[in-house]
Structure formats: structure tokens, C-alpha cells
Amino acid sequence: MSASLVDPRLQGRALKRVAFTTDQIRGRVRELGADISAAYPDGDLLVLGLLKGSFILVSDLVREISRPLQVDFLVVSSYGNDMVSSGTVRMVYDAQAVLKGKHILLVEDIVDSGRTLSMVITVLQEREPASIEVCALLDKHLSTFLEHPPRFVGFDAPNEFLVGYGLDHAENFRHLPYIASLQ
């Protein structure tokens, strides 16, 4: 299915295929919310979104979690001006919430190599949370650096360049309500 013929949001770009439809995403986020609610019956829960890619998932996910929680965000950079990760995570924006003693649910849009996510977890562990778990919308299962794999995964992702539902290409396509691969 090619959405390029019917979707003006694509700015003239063609899609290779729609990988996950709006309805599939909506249903899976609902299931993730139920799983997360059951996994955290008590204690302080902080949903910590890793921006920018996770912002839509965080918004939808927290409305499906049926227990008290707090929300905060992190922005990290491991690339600087390079095309390859430097191996060093720099906090561009740090969470304002206190992490000590809280259950942290780190929400990520997609896990590929796991390098940045692994370093973020190391930094967060220094702040003495009660626990840290990862919720990823997509997991490509290519991780060679991730010692703490996602506990909650929306979908196993194909090894394609994906956009939509928060995922971007050069800051475009985040607003698409589905996930697709570009031509």
C-alpha cells in the first residue's frame, strides 16, 4: 500500500510501504498501557520520555496507564555535528523530576544499536531510582550495546528507515499517524 497517492502530509515524498497502521498502533499502545499498569501496582511511577521521537507515544501511552504517574522528558545528544555517535551522551535537556526512589519508565521511539539508550540508563542509575525499565515503540533487534533490553515493546521493527508517529527524517514526517518506510 502506498500512501503517497492519498496523503498530502508526505510533502511529495513517496512511501515504500506502511509498516504499522494507525489502528495497529492505537491497539498496541492500549495493550502496553494495560501491561505497564499491571507491572507497577504501587510506588511512584515516572514516565520519562526521550525526546524528540517519543513525544507522541508518551502522550498516548500515559492516557492508557490506569494508575497515578508523573511525566518528564530528556533530550540527549550523542552525535553532535557528526553522522556517527561519539559514544558520549550529552544531556541537552535534563529531567526536572527527582528520580531517587521512583520507578522510572524510560520511553523511546525506536531501539536500533542501543548505544545512546544504554548510556542514558547508566546516567539515570546514578540518581538511585527504585527501578528503571524501558518501553520502546519499535525494536529492530540490532542492539549490540544495550545491556538493559526493553521490557515493553510495541512492535518488532523491520530493518528499514521508518517515519511517522514521532519518527522523523530531517525533522519531517513526525506528524503522520502511522509508521511507514520511505522510498
Which residues, at least 6 apart from 93, have a Cβ–Cβ distance to it below 8 Å? 51, 73, 74, 75
d(CA 70, CA 45): 6
Q: Are strands 152-156 and 131-139 parallel, antiparallel or unpaired?
A: parallel
Q: In angstroms, what CA-CA distances link 143 with 82, 86, 182?
A: 21, 17, 22
Residues in the chain: 183
Cα angle 151, 157, 160 (rounded to 5 degrees) comes to: 145
Active site residue 168: no
**Integer distance in angstroms from the first to the last C-alpha of the chain?**
13
Of 44, 60, 109, 112, catalytic: 112
Write down the residue that cell numbers 494507525 correspond to.
Answer: 22
Nearest to 85 by CA among 125, 105, 110, 113: 113
Q: Is 119 helix (H, G, I), strand (E, B) or coil?
A: helix
Which residues carry out catalysis?
A: 112
